[in-house]
Amino acid sequence: MAKLEVLVVVAVFMEMVSAASLGVVYTEGGMVEGENIRLGLFSSMDIFRGIPFADMPGRFEKPKRHPGWDGVLKTTEFKPRCLQMNVIMTDTRGSEDCLYLNIWVPHGRSVSTDLPVMVWIYGGGFLAGGSMGANFLDNYLYDGQEIADRGNVIVVTLGYRVGTLGLLSTGDSSLPGNYGLWDQQAAIAWVHRNIRSFGGDPDNITIFGESAGGASVNFQTLTPHNKGLIKRAISQSGVALCPWGINKNPRKLAEEIALKVNCPIDHTMGACLKMTDPVLLTKAGALSLPSSADHPIVFNLLLSPVVDGDFLPDEPSKLFHNAADIDYIIGVNDMDGHIFTALDVPSINSDLLETPVEDVRRLLASYTKEKGIAGLDNAYSTYTSSWGSDPSWETIKKTIVEIGTDYIFLVPSQAALYLHAANARTGRTYSYLFSEPNRMGGLLKPYPSWMGADHADDLQYVFGKPFTTPLGYWPSHRDVSGYIIAYWTNFAKTGDPNKGDLKVPTTWPRFTSTGHQFLEINAKMNSSNVKQMMRMRYVHFWTSILPNLAVNFSE
C-alpha cells in the first residue's frame, strides 16, 4: 500500500474509534466542560469535578440557587470539602464554599442518553467527609468511575455541610438546623433538573450512601420536599432511626457550643453564633473523646438532624408514607459496631487481654439507661443466655461487638425495613447483611481472628477498589465487588437487584412483612445466602421488650 493510502486508512480508523464525549454541557448556571478519558476501543467517560449546584451558603442558612456564570466553566478539579475537623482532630480543613458535585458519565460507541443516575451521599458521622472521599496515592475513595463503567450508569457524588456549620440547631426558628440535609436536597433537585443534558434520565434517580450518608438517604426519602425526585434508595449501615440519627435536645448542645465560643445563653445566642468565626465554631463542635463502656462514643455523636417542622415535619418513624413509591435497599455489615465498641472497650481487639464480663454489663447499662435496672437485667440475660457457665474470652469480646452492632445499626435498620415494607405502595424493599471479613483480621494482624465486616468495610467494594488497585486485593475480593456493583446498578436500572445488565450470583428475594428475607453478601455466595429474620431475638428485645419495660431505677 502506498504511504498516502495507509495514512488515509489510519485516519479513517482513528475517526471511527474517536472517543464519544459530551463536550461542553449546558446547565442552568452556565456551560461546563469536564475531562474525557478513553477506557477501551469503544468506550470512554466524561468526568466533571466541582460543578456548583448552589451558591456559597450563608452561615446557618438554607442553600440558595447559584447566580450562574459567563463562558465555559472548566470542571476538572475536585473542590475543597466543607469546613470540618481534620482526621487527627488538631485543626480544621476545607471551606465554607463547598456546595459542589462531581459527575461520571460512561459512553459506548456513541454519546449516552437516558442513563440511570446514582447519587452518592458520604458518611462521616455528620462531622466529616467529602464528595470525593479520602485520597490515597491519587486514588479517591468515592471515585465513581468503576461503578459508572461496569454498571453503565451515571454516578454523581455531592458535597454537603457537616459539623457545627451543617447541623447546629437551637431547637427554634433562630437556628433551625438541618442545613446539611438541605444541601443534599438542593443537589438532588439540581440533578433532577440538569442531568438530562449529561445523558441521564431524571426519572431514574437512585440515591445511595453509607453511615451518616445512609441515614441521610433515609431522611431524603422521608422529607416531603423530595416528592417525585427520587425513584430508588440504598442505605448502607445507617438509617434515620439510628440512636445517633436525630438529636432530640439540640438546645442543650447549642448552649454548650455557645459557651465554648463565648456567646451568651439568651435570646441573642443565635445572632452571636452567626457572627462567630467559622473555624472556632467548627472546633467547638469537634467530637469529644475518650469514650468508655460507661460513656459510649455513640452518645457523643450529637450534631445530627433535628425534627424542625420543615425538612422533617415529624419523627422519622411517622414519615415512611413519603417513601411509599421509592424502591429501597437497606443493609448493615455484620460487625458494624466493632470500630465503635473497640473505642469504648479497647481490650476486645487484644488476644492477650481479658475483657471482663463486667464490661458487657457496663455497656448494656449505658445503652438501656432510660429503663434503669430492669432494662439492664433483661438485656444482660438476652445477650448471655447462650454463654454457658464459663464463657471464653472470645465469646465475651464477640458479644460486646454484637451489642454495639445491634444497638447502633442493625436493629434500627430492621425497624426501617419493617416500616418501609408496611408503608409501601409501588416501592419494593430489600434487606442485606454484608459479611466479607475485614482484611486486618487474623494471625499477626491488628484485629482479632474472628473479625467480620467492620463499619465502612463495604465502601471499597461498592466503589470497585479491588479492580482499580488489583495488587491490593485477592481475586475473591474482586468477586464480592463485582456482585455488589451488579446488585446495586441493576437495582438503579430496574428497581430489582436481580434484573439488569449484570449477572448476579444468586437471586435476592424481596423483604416482606411476613417473610423478612435478606441476602448475606460475601465472596462465597450461593442460594444458601438467602436467609430470614435477621437476629430476630435481639431485634425483638430492642424494639418490643425494652420499650415496654416499666422504668425501675432501684436495685
In this chain, which of 527, 544, 548, 554 binds ligand NAG, going by CB under 6 A?
527
Q: For residue 459, how far is the Cα from the chain centroid?
A: 9
Binding mask 204-233 for ligand NAG (x = CB under 6 A): x-----------------------------
Q: Is 352 in contact with 344 (CB distance < 8 Å)?
A: no
Q: Which of 61, 203, 354, 370 binds ligand NAG (CB under 6 A)?
A: 203
Looking at this protein, which amino acid is placed at residue 352? Answer: L
Beta carbon nearer to ligand NAG, 96 or 496:
496
Sheet of 200-210, strands arranged across:
35-40, 43-52, 100-107, 154-158, 115-121, 200-210, 232-236, 327-333, 429-434, 517-521, 530-532
Surface-to-core class of residue 1, CB atoms within 10 Å of its CB (0-12 exposed, 13-18 middle, 19+ buried): exposed
Instruction: Give the alpha-carbon dihedral of 315, 316, 321, 327, to 10 degrees.
Output: 180
Task: Kindly tell me which of 161 and 493 has the beta carbon lying closer to ligand NAG.
Answer: 493
Marked catalytic residue, from 420, 455, 477, 516 = 455
Residue 90 contacts ligand NAG per CB under 6 A: no
| Separation CA 130–CA 65 (nearest Å) | 21
Applying CB under 6 A, which part among 138-146, 200-208, 237-245, 457-465 lies near ligand NAG? 200-208
Binder of ligand NAG out of 64, 74, 503, 524 (CB under 6 A): 524
Active site residue 481: no
**CA 485 to CA 476: how far, in whole Å?**
14
Q: List C-alpha distances in Å: 419 to 240, 322, 425, 428.
A: 12, 11, 12, 12
Q: How far apart, in whole angstroms, are the C-alpha atoms of residue 316 and residue 419?
A: 10
Question: Between 196 and 540, whose beta carbon lies closer to ligand NAG?
Answer: 196
Q: Using the rule CB under 6 A, is 528 a contact of ligand NAG?
A: yes
Toward ligand NAG, which CB reaches closer, 228 or 388? 228
Cα distances (Å, whole numbers) of residue 381 to 196, 277, 375, 538, 548: 56, 50, 10, 11, 17
Strand partners, 38: 44
* 437 lines the binding site for ligand NAG (CB under 6 A): no
Count of residues near ligand NAG by CB under 6 A: 9
Name the 3-class secondary structure at 17. Answer: coil
Helix-then-strand count for the chain, H and E:
18, 18
Residues 483-522 close enough to bind ligand NAG by CB under 6 A = 493
**CB of residue 201 vs ligand NAG: minimum separation in angstroms?**
5
Is the separation of the CB atoms in 120 and 208 below 8 Å? yes
Give the nearer residue to ligand NAG in terms of CB position, either 518 or 542: 518
Work out which of 29, 57, 63, 116 binds ligand NAG, going by CB under 6 A: 116
Is 78 or 488 the residue whose CB approaches ligand NAG more closely? 488
Catalytic residue at 277? Answer: no
The answer to the question of residue 161 lying near ligand NAG (CB under 6 A) is: no
Q: Check residue 526 for interaction with ligand NAG (CB under 6 A).
A: yes
Whole-number minimum distance, CB 204 to ligand NAG, in Å?
4
The yes-or-no answer on residue 211 being catalytic is yes
Q: Does position 61 bind ligand NAG by CB under 6 A?
A: no
In the complex, the smallest distance separating the C-beta of residue 522 from ligand NAG, rounded to whole angstroms, is: 9
Nearest distance, CB of residue 491 and ligand NAG, angstroms: 11
Cα-based distances in Å from 448 to 17, 384, 393, 459, 460:
51, 21, 12, 21, 21
Which of these is catalytic: 143, 149, 327, 336? 336
Residues that are catalytic: 211, 336, 455
Residues that bind ligand NAG (CB under 6 A): 116, 201, 203-204, 493, 524, 526-528
